[in-house]
Amino acid sequence: MPTTASETESPPAPAASADLAYASALLADAMGQGGSPLNVPASLAGQLWPYLTAQLDEDGDRRYRGVRSAPDLHAEFAALEQARPTDPSAPQLALARWPGAAPFALFLSHDIDQIYDRELFRVVADVNHIRRMLLSGERGSVPLASRRVLRALFRPKRTLWDFETILALEARHGFRSTFFVLHDRYWARQGARFSYDDREIREIGRLALAAGCELGVHGGYYRFNDAALYRQSREAMAEAFGVEAVGIRNHLLRYSFPDTWRAQEAAGFEYDATYGHRSVPGPRSGLAFPFFTYDPQRQEASNLLELPLTVMDTSVFRYLRLGGEEALEFCARLTERLAGHGALITLLWHNNFFNEPEYWDWHMVYERLLERLAALKPWCATGAEINRWWRARARVGVEAKPAENGRWEVRVRPAAPIKDLVIEIADGARWGTVTVTGAAHELQRRPERWRVLLPELAADTAVQLTLTPP
Ligand SMILES: [Zn+2]
């Protein structure tokens, strides 16, 4: 992709710091206006998300070019969470952000744009890649790219191999991922390089589902923002794979506010995973956790959940032109910092760069990054599972009332079934005993806090906690 010198060499764009300052102010505002301390992200929908999502739409990439990582509001957010105004005598309760109070969530995903080694468009793209390396100094290896062209012509790679590799890498850590399968025309420049009718893609789908992975729709370039065509894709997926798709991510991360989300919601999707910059890694919204998208016409949060993107392979290797250990360190630093904030970390690695000698480091970085993140014990789940969790958690009612002798009674009532819900009582030293009735539970006491783990709650279960001072 051609870029001018002034775009690539500009210092960190002033837009980024201005956005950061303005968004921080809005964040403070949203928190100060009685946002629920138990689910603050949802209460931000009215102010912060509309600002960020409206400002950073299709030209977001250009405004941020030259910045190596998108703005990050987690530090501001944490400070505001700490400083929230509460009744000083009330217990400091919070619902853990993730199941079992896991330190962060990990969403592994793959966009399937192409699956065949011997395929006209792919060979043409490789020949063009070689031409650009020779004529305009594009990064890559001419001998390795030439070998790939010869391999495609004479001994094509087995189609399922890359998928078996991905599943094996993830299974090592007990991880499962989501595959977004492109559904669009074949004979078109930005189209899909296969059809849902092909035997091979159906085999890939079966393989992924058998491994406990999820299939979602990769929204086609020629279907952009068209609810009727997105719905066709959902129906085609049901027909080809027997799957009611819950999630979608658009090809090339194409997104415009508010039409993309409106069309996706109208087509029956529950979550979108498109929201990220192609050229800039890091959370596009500034906050790396799920949020309900905003509809400016209705002036309220809509029912489509966004699982924002954190790092895509091409952003790091193509746009930032990093490689080898340097690329690994960049990805590890970015994701480990967000893990420290309890974030949702979404990785997007394309299937067609695995097992490729020319792209050895794309494969290596994914493998090593999973090892490093696994050591931090995340909750790794498919997009559909994260979607279900976030919605159920948002519908847990918590009500605290003072009782006699300094005791407090806390009622917890989920509106939807939920597993591994954890209630944290931050001011742990204030309570000598905590008793729980109404559901199977596990109590943990750490020096500074209590934790109540509720392994399985049916909808409308009434759980009662009694907090008694020493
Ligand atoms: Zn794609």
Domain for residue 95, yes or no?
no
Residues around ion ligand 1, judged by CB within 5 A, are 111, 113, 251
- Are both 337 and 399 inside the same structural domain? no
- Are both 210 and 250 inside the same structural domain? yes
Comparing CA positions, the residue from 304, 288, 295, 177 lying closest to residue 246 is 304
- Are both 371 and 404 inside the same structural domain? no
Structure confidence at residue 38 (pLDDT)? 46
Q: From ligand 1's centre to the CA of 277, what distance in Å?
A: 14
Q: From ligand 1's centre to the CA of 182, what distance in Å?
A: 7
Return the DSSP state at 368: H
Domain for residue 222, yes or no?
yes
Cα distance between residue 269 and residue 200, in whole Å: 25
Q: What is the pLDDT along the chain (470 residues), one digit of tens a residue?
A: 333 333 333 344 445 566 667 777 767 766 655 444 444 555 566 667 766 666 665 556 666 666 777 777 887 777 776 665 567 788 888 889 999 999 999 999 999 999 999 998 889 999 999 999 999 988 899 999 999 999 999 999 999 999 999 999 999 999 999 999 999 998 888 999 999 999 999 999 999 999 999 999 999 999 999 999 999 999 999 999 999 999 999 999 999 888 999 999 999 999 999 998 888 898 887 889 898 888 878 777 789 999 999 999 999 999 899 999 999 999 999 999 999 999 999 999 999 999 999 999 999 999 999 999 999 999 999 999 999 999 999 889 888 999 999 999 999 999 999 999 999 998 888 999 999 999 999 999 988 899 999 999 999 999 999 999 99
Q: From ligand 1's centre to the CA of 178, what distance in Å?
A: 14
Q: From ligand 1's centre to the CA of 254, what distance in Å?
A: 9
Query: At which of 62, 88, 114 does a domain end?
Result: 88
CATH code of the domain covering residue 438? 2.60.40.1170
Query: At which of 334, 360, 387 does a domain end?
Result: 387
Q: From ligand 1's centre to the CA of 191, what distance in Å?
A: 9
Q: From ligand 1's centre to the CA of 86, what distance in Å?
A: 46
Domain for residue 240, yes or no?
yes
Q: From ligand 1's centre to the CA of 185, what distance in Å?
A: 13
- Are both 66 and 125 inside the same structural domain? no
CATH code of the domain covering residue 244? 3.20.20.370
Q: From ligand 1's centre to the CA of 75, what distance in Å?
A: 32
Q: From ligand 1's centre to the CA of 190, what distance in Å?
A: 9
Cα distance between residue 311 and residue 280, in whole Å: 8
Domain for residue 96, yes or no?
no
Domain for residue 284, yes or no?
yes
- Are both 420 and 316 inside the same structural domain? no
Q: From ligand 1's centre to the CA of 318, what distance in Å?
A: 15
Q: From ligand 1's centre to the CA of 55, what distance in Å?
A: 24
Q: From ligand 1's centre to the CA of 425, what distance in Å?
A: 43
Q: What is the DSSP string of 212-248?
A: T-EEEEEE-GGGTT-HHHHHHHHHHHHHHHS----EE
Q: Which residues contact 177 (CB under 8 A, 6 or more apart)?
A: 108, 109, 110, 166, 170, 213, 214, 382
- Are both 369 and 402 inside the same structural domain? no
Structure confidence at residue 87 (pLDDT)? 72
- Are both 327 and 442 inside the same structural domain? no
Structural domain count, the chain: 3
- Are both 234 and 201 inside the same structural domain? yes
Structure confidence at residue 62 (pLDDT)? 65
- Are both 217 and 321 inside the same structural domain? yes
- Are both 191 and 71 inside the same structural domain? no
Domain for residue 98, yes or no?
no
Q: From ligand 1's centre to the CA of 154, what distance in Å?
A: 27
| pTM exceeds 0.85 | yes
- Are both 135 and 278 inside the same structural domain? yes
Structure confidence at residue 6 (pLDDT)? 36
Cα distance between residue 139 and residue 20, in whole Å: 33
Query: At which of 352, 387, 422 does a domain end?
Result: 387
**Which residues constitute the domain of residue 454?**
395-468
Comparing CA positions, the residue from 201, 271, 260, 261 lying closest to residue 236 is 201
Structure confidence at residue 56 (pLDDT)? 60
Domain for residue 93, yes or no?
no
Domain for residue 99, yes or no?
no
Cα distance between residue 442 and residue 29, in whole Å: 37
Structure confidence at residue 314 (pLDDT)? 95
Q: From ligand 1's centre to the CA of 181, what distance in Å?
A: 8
- Are both 350 and 243 inside the same structural domain? yes
Structure confidence at residue 13 (pLDDT)? 46
